[in-house]
Amino acid sequence: MSAKRLLSTPQYHQIPPTIKNSLQWTQNCTTQQPKPPFQPKRPSILATNIIKSYFDKGLTKEARTLFDEMPERDVVVWTAMIAGYASCNHHARAWVVFRNMMRECNEYPNAFTMSSALKACKGMNSLSCGGLVHGMVVKFGLEGCLYVDNAVLDLYATCCATMVEACVVFGGIREKNSVSWTTLIAGYTHRGDGYSGLQAFRQMLLEEAETNAFSFSIAGRACASIGSHTTGRQIHGAVIKQGYESNTPVMNSILDMYCRCDLREAKQCFHGMTERDLITWNTWIAGYEKSDSIECLYIFSQMEYEGFSPNCFTLSSVVAACSNLAVLNCGQQVHGTIIQRGFDRNLALSNALIDMYAKCGNISDSQQIFIEMSIRDLVSWTSMMIGYGSHGYGKEAVELFDQMVKSGIRPDRIVFMAVLGACSHAGLVDKGLSYFNSMIGYYNLTPNQEIYGCVVDLLGRAGRVKEAYEIMEGMPFKPDESVWGAFLGACKAHRHPDMEKLAARRLLDLGPNMAGTYVTVSNIYAAEGMWGDFAKVRKLMRGVGSRKEAGRSWVQVRNQVCGFVVGDKVGAHIEWVYEVLDVLVLHMVEAGYVPDLDCLTQDLEDGT
């Protein structure tokens, strides 16, 4: 790009006089002129500065054009191109420029070149390319340069399967700074090893290394990932002591920790924050999504009232809240917001909508969204299969599984749980068993307790109780409470009293955690007149402090969600509710319905 074009192009701001004079000087360098009032910079330096400015504004094409028109390029301008592309997330282009530099440039790469190239390799998630650059770092004697060592550490912490290589690099850094420690902590935390991340943070404090806001932020994330409430409160105290309580990213991580550990303290933390951004609201909304979905929707409306615009992360939590509540009307309104904001092509949101419509009873809309998706991942197929299975469309779920395999997507254990559950609800026993066998024999996936529970449920629902027991006997590990619970349910449903008692004894031997298990076993003994065993089970239940959770349901009436609990006597129009129930009971009696009291699981002591 010539100087004249730079000076005349209308869409750019006017070039400052110093740069304009220098550009004119480069064209008239052979003409005798008075000495300028400043020492002009060389053209390559000026061009490099302009390239950096282009990248800062995201003008990658303009930067490339100017770079291509330069007759001479030194290592600085090559490095500017590599760093610029990497900063704009064009990592593959940065790698191509680095390769061209190694072929064309007569100068050796410097430390800035190598750190920028390593950043590009990390962005491409290419360990092989990163290894090549690391080799060049050693070859050119750049080991020991702190920001190069930190870039190598970041590469291995991000791209390697384990943290072994990153720890070796970390151990070789002679003078570690806060970036070195924070990179190590983040490496552990981002791969789900919050315990090791916190251990590294403690070691950082013991060695009296310099901390910064990001150090505390990532430590807070580590606490959140493992639900360590005590350590999280200690970090919160250190944050206040260090004066970071007004730092929004740090407080967002603390808020995330409290949302996972104690919502009451999370509420105090949220209202105590002086500055909030969209991440703050997203964290707050996601914290309530599972525990109190109604409150989650209220917080979402409050966020919009305060002028924040939701992004994909916000809306995915809100859609999940609608799924939990099964409020179709609200979910449809959120879907409209997604379309209005142009997020309808977002993969994660589409997956969430498939799940939401299925849980709200509208499987046809789930299917429509699935069909219209231009890109599908494993979650898309799994969500649709689970939707089909929960609605009794076992045949459609099986066909979808076969389509997924043909499309080249490899199923995982969750997919097999979905298709086995669909086969179980639809009575496709032999088809389900064939999938179970292919999971082991063809896909080399080892079944876990959940998979075995699905197979036992599959056989049990079909009355093939003996085969279900043989599957349990052949398990490579002892069946857990969920597997024995599924087997016990099958024995009760198909009248196998001996096997039923066996399952009850095995369940009690495990020391079950679910109150419903104690209630079921005690009712079995009561039905058989075994009152001594019944009393023992009730005593065990009281001893572990277990209490069966009361049944709860809700219905949406005129945009209001009304909740009902077993034995509820308080609430608006509760008398009308019981009048309607009495009418329903009369209709059931007239229809000749006889309740199966043997299968009724009721806690006679607490009324649930």
Q: In the prediction, which pLDDT does 46 show?
A: 84
Give the residue-averaged pLDDT of 560-588. Answer: 75
**Each residue's pLDDT tens digit, 66-84:** 999 888 889 999 999 999 9
**Each residue's pLDDT tens digit, 487-532:** 888 888 888 878 877 887 787 777 666 656 666 676 666 666 666 7
Give the residue-averaged pLDDT of 287-293. Answer: 90
The three-class DSSP label of residue 556 is strand
Q: Which of 392, 316, 407 is nearest to 358 (CA)?
A: 392
Nearest 5°: the CA angle 476, 478, 482 is 115
Q: What is the pTM of this model?
A: 0.74
Q: Confirm if 52 and 62 have CB atoms less than 8 A apart.
A: no
What ranges make up the beta strands (E) of 529-568? 552-557, 560-565
CA distance 231 to 225: 12
Neighbours of 575 (CB within 10 A): 10
CA distance 462 to 245: 59
Which residue reads 């929004």 in tokens?
A: 248
Q: Bigger pLDDT: 510 or 451? A: 451
Per domain, the residue ranges of the chain are 42-175, 376-446, 552-591
Q: Confirm if 492 and 518 have CB atoms less than 8 A apart.
A: no
CA dihedral 258, 262, 267, 272 (to 10 degrees): -50
Neighbours of 558 (CB within 10 A): 6
Predicted confidence (pLDDT) at residue 353 exceeds the cutoff of 60? yes
β-pair partners for 561 = 556
Q: Which helix (H) or strand (E) holds 562?
A: strand 560-565
Mean pLDDT across the chain? 85
Structure tokens that stand for 120 in this block? 């590009």
Give the residue-averaged pLDDT of 401-425. Answer: 93
| Lowest-confidence pick of 96-105, 390-399, 498-507 | 498-507
Q: What is the DSSP letter of 245?
A: T
Q: Confirm if 601 and 520 have CB atoms less than 8 A apart.
A: yes
Type of residue found at 608: T
Q: In the prediction, which pLDDT does 15 show?
A: 52
Nearest 5°: the CA angle 435, 440, 445 is 105
Q: What is the DSSP letter of 597?
A: G
Q: In the prediction, which pLDDT does 586 show?
A: 86
CA distance 432 to 444: 17
Q: How far apart are the first and last CA of the chain?
A: 79
Rg, C-alpha atoms of the chain: 32
Phi, psi dihedral angles at 561 (to 5 degrees): -90, 120
- How confident is residue 21, by pLDDT bands cut at 50, 70 and 90? low
The three-class DSSP label of residue 564 is strand
How many residues appear in the chain? Answer: 608
Give the residue-averaged pLDDT of 311-339. Answer: 94
Structure tokens that stand for 204 in this block? 């950082």
**Cα dist from 454 to 278, 340, 419, 474, 501, whole Å:** 40, 40, 10, 15, 21
The three-class DSSP label of residue 508 is helix
| Lowest-confidence pick of 4-18, 131-145, 321-335, 423-437 | 4-18
